[in-house]
Amino acid sequence: MPLLEADPPVEEEDDCENLKELLDENKQNIKPDLQWLANMYNSNEPVEHSCSYELKEIEVPVNENDTEWVENYSVDHNIGTATSVTITTGGSVYAALHLHPKSSGAAGGIFSWSDLQTLEDMYVRAQQFNKGKVTIMVVSPDPLDDSNYNVYAVTVNDIDTLTQKINSDKSKWSHISDEKEKIDIINEELAKDYRQNKNNLEKYFLERFGSYGISLFKLNSDEEWDELKLNATGTDIDEIPCE
């Protein structure tokens, strides 16, 4: 019986470069979608929306005799409810951007537990050449002033750890057989914690999920990405610009 060919290893990717490419007008160019979601946020749109981004390599003719492989970008939009929205995963999908409405307040001020579960699912189901680029982004309320919003991105740096943590979280509620009910409870409990920690929500997120094999980024006022990390003493956040 012939041996099955193993998937090639995931290529080492630079998160900052990948995030910058998402903003690049010659690449995926999510800026129009960012503005679209920002406009909906400011107009008090009551439900979540999502944009799922695909990256394919397609063969195109160069002349009568030759072809070349080029990157092809596309986007799929979905509309959801006040607390959830479908984000497409699988195949050539490698990134997503979604809205947490202004009405979600501090509870929606950063990524939900379900967002991290979707990140894990997107990575696992992504085509091999896209795995290193996988990211989920959110437009979410400023927990201290909902007239403003923040844009965050989360990426995977250790998929085995992320998968283990997601499964561990669910196992704590193993007495609940209904999967949707279980996930709703996990999200509701986290939302309570977010409200209680709204004065330092980014710090709380990193304390809570910093061991999940993920990295957190924030889009600054110059439309450039900063990585957010707890400082050496764990008392504050360091903002490290993407050079």
Mean pLDDT per 10-residue section of the chain, whose length is 243 residues? 50 88 96 98 98 90 76 95 96 97 98 98 96 98 97 98 97 88 95 98 98 98 96 95 92
Q: Which residues of 110-138 are buried (b: 16+ CB within 10 A; e: fewer)?
A: bbbbbbbbbbbbbbeebbeebbbbbbbbb
What pLDDT score was predicted for residue 11?
61
Q: DSSP code of 232?
A: T
Q: CA angle at residue 218 from 71 to 101, to 5 degrees?
A: 95
Q: Is 222 exposed, middle or buried (0-12, 13-18, 19+ CB in 10 A)?
A: exposed
Instruction: Return the H-helix or E-strand segment holding 151.
Output: strand 149-156
Output the pLDDT for position 133. 97
Residue 200's SS3 state is helix
Question: What pLDDT score was predicted for residue 2?
Answer: 47
Tell me the Cα Rg of the chain.
19
pLDDT the model gives residue 3: 44
Query: What pLDDT shows up at residue 1?
Result: 46
Cβ neighbours for 82, distance < 8 A, ≥ 6 positions apart: 46, 47, 48, 101, 103, 104
What is the domain partition of the chain in residue ranges?
15-228
What pLDDT shows up at residue 12?
A: 64
Specify the pLDDT at position 67. 76
The whole-angstrom separation of Cα 190 and Cα 208 is 10
Residue 102 contacts residue 44 (beta carbons within 8 Å) = yes
The residues, any chain, with a CB within 8 Å of residue 194's CB and separated by 6 or more, are 106, 107, 109, 110, 143, 201, 204
The confidence score (pLDDT) of residue 65 equals: 76
